[in-house]
Amino acid sequence: MTTFAVAAPDRTSAPLVRLLRSELRMMLRRPRTVVGLGTLSFVPVVAGIAITIAADGDGPVGEGLAGLVEGNGLMLPIFSLLAAVTMLLPLVGATLAADALAGESAHGTMRSLLIAPVGRARLVAVKAFGVATVTLLACLLMSITGTVTGVILLGGDGMLTVSGTTLSFVDGLGRVLLTTVLVSVQVWGVAAIALAVSAWTDHPLIVLSVSLGLLIVSGVLSAIPALDWLDPVLITTAWESLTELVRDPIPWSSLTEGALRAGCYILIGYSLTLARMLSRDG
């Protein structure tokens, strides 16, 4: 008896670079992404105008970093990023994560993604890359508009630190870039948890609710002295230490600890996302 071998259909995986480019193109074309990026880009401009107007008055400009921005233009993007990391930037990261998976499920396109010739681990990697890249883009846009606005409206040849020293213009730009990177890492931690929630639900609003709830609960718990033993595991604990970036020299211990804590949240979030996607039917 003659037997015939039946060839299995060729299931060729799409090139990774093309997948990443396609994901970024799709995310950047969403109206809510464009609106979010535009709003964040405008935040430093509004802050710069407000500080300029306040500086023309008789009273003080403000306390803390706000008071240091007057005549110290390179401090404006850092001030704006540290203000936005408390809510605006995490909200953008959570929104991107909600659209990445829960949004696909809500629009009925998740099943086609799961049966496409792309491994599920690769699918998670592509979605995570898209969320992380657009989040970094949001921080970069704030840094760029903040730097330009600060130099034009507030002036300054360098950066005056809270330690009383003055950095050169190039060193000041380095501090702005470092702040951008570290703030992005903190937002990535929130986005990773949001992506994990997004993998378990079909409703993007649930992702936003859980993410914002996490930030609020973490902030409340960190404000209670009797619960300070929880600080090492709260996602918002390291955000206050980001102000150390405007000291000279930089005290790296708290910043390193905060980056490692965010890295743990990133690892946990993406691990939960991958575990869910590998076991998901549709």
- pLDDT (tens digit per residue) in 225-258: 898 888 888 998 888 889 899 998 899 998 999 9
Instruction: Check residue 8 and give its pLDDT.
Output: 42
Total number of domains constituting the chain: 1
Whether the pLDDT of residue 59 is over 60: the answer is: no
With a cut of 50, say whether residue 201 has pLDDT above it.
yes
Model confidence over 114-147: pLDDT tens digits?
666 667 788 889 899 999 999 999 999 999 999 9
**Distances 275 to 210, 263, 270, 278 between C-alpha atoms, Å:** 19, 18, 8, 5
Whether residue 184 is contained in a domain is answered as yes
Higher pLDDT, 100 or 144: 144
pLDDT digits (tens, 9 = 90+) for 148-163: 999 998 887 888 888 8
pLDDT at 66 over 70: no
DSSP secondary structure of 208-258: HHHHHHHHHHHHHHHT-GGGGGGGGG-TTGGGGGGGGGGSSS--HHHHHHH
Burial category of 209 from C-beta neighbours within 10 Å (exposed 0-12, middle 13-18, buried 19 and up): middle
The residue-averaged pLDDT of 208-217 equals 92
Q: Is residue 52 part of a domain?
A: yes
Percent of the chain with pLDDT over 90: 46
Check residues 61 and 130 and name the one with the higher pLDDT: 130
DSSP, res 1: -
> If you average pLDDT over every residue of the chain, what do you get?
85
Q: Is the pLDDT of residue 62 over 60?
A: no
Buried b (16+ CB within 10 A) or exposed e, 94-122: bbbbbbbbbbbbbeeebeebeeeebebee
Higher-confidence residue: 116 or 17? 17
Q: CA-CA distance, 69 to 92, in Å (whole number)?
A: 25
Residue 21 lies inside a defined structural domain of this protein: yes
| Domain ranges, residue 118 | 16-279
Residue 180 lies in a domain: yes
Under DSSP, the state recorded for 63 is: S
Query: Residues for the chain: how many in total?
Result: 282
- Judge whether residue 12 has pLDDT over 60: no
Cα–Cα distance between 210 and 9 in angstroms, integer?
Answer: 42
- Predicted confidence at residue 162, as pLDDT, reads 86
Specify the pLDDT at position 93: 94
Distance, CA of 211 to chain centre: 13
Tens of pLDDT, residue by residue over 26-47, are: 889 888 899 999 999 999 999 9
Residue 197 has pLDDT above 50, yes or no: yes
Distance (Å, whole) CA 201 – CA 59: 51
For residue 4, is it within any domain? no
The whole-number pLDDT of residue 64 equals: 61
pLDDT at residue 106 tops 90: no
Residue 269 located in a structural domain: yes
More confident residue, 85 or 108: 85
Per cent of the chain over pLDDT 70 is 86
Tokens representing residue 187 in the block: 């937002």
Instruction: Say if residue 7's pLDDT is above 90.
Output: no
Query: Is the residue at 114 inside a domain?
Result: yes
Whole-prediction pTM: 0.88
Q: Which own/partner pairs from 114-123 qualify as long-range (CB within 8 Å, at least 24 positions apart)? A: 114/277, 114/280, 114/281, 114/282, 116/14, 117/11, 117/12, 117/13, 117/14, 118/13, 118/14, 118/19, 119/13, 120/274, 120/277, 120/278, 120/280, 121/274, 121/277, 121/278, 122/13, 122/16, 122/19, 123/277
In order of 48, 90, 127, 137, the CA distances from 130 in angstroms are 30, 15, 5, 10
* Predicted confidence (pLDDT) per residue in 268-279, tens digit: 999 999 998 888
Asked if the structure places residue 164 within a domain, the reply is yes
